[in-house]
Amino acid sequence: MVQHVNESKDAIAEQFASLVGERLTIVLAGNSFDVYFTETHRKDLQAVMKATTQAEASVDL
């Protein structure tokens, strides 16, 4: 049986939100990997994450 473990899952959103460059390092199944984002994709995904966080905050009011 093969088991996939994402040791970085709790930190990925925070790391990505503050990502300035193009590389995000994550740990999957005990191995470190770099995920590369173009500037456009990084900015787009950061905007989506920010909007999602704001929407979740407004629902909690």
pLDDT per position in the chain (61 positions), as tens? 345 566 677 788 888 888 888 999 888 888 889 999 999 999 999 899 889 888 888 876 6
In a domain, 18, yes or no: yes
pLDDT of residue 13: 84
Contact between 22 and 38 under an 8 Å Cβ cutoff? The reply is: yes
The model's pTM is 0.64
Interhelix angle 9-17/39-59, nearest 10 degrees: 110
In a domain, 24, yes or no: yes
- Rg of the chain over CA atoms, in angstroms? 14
pLDDT of residue 2: 46
Contact between 37 and 25 under an 8 Å Cβ cutoff? The reply is: no
H/E stretch holding 12 reads: helix 9-17
In a domain, 1, yes or no: no
In a domain, 2, yes or no: no
pLDDT of residue 53: 84
In a domain, 4, yes or no: no
Host domain of residue 33: 9-59
Number of domains in the chain: 1
In a domain, 34, yes or no: yes
* The amino acid at 55: A
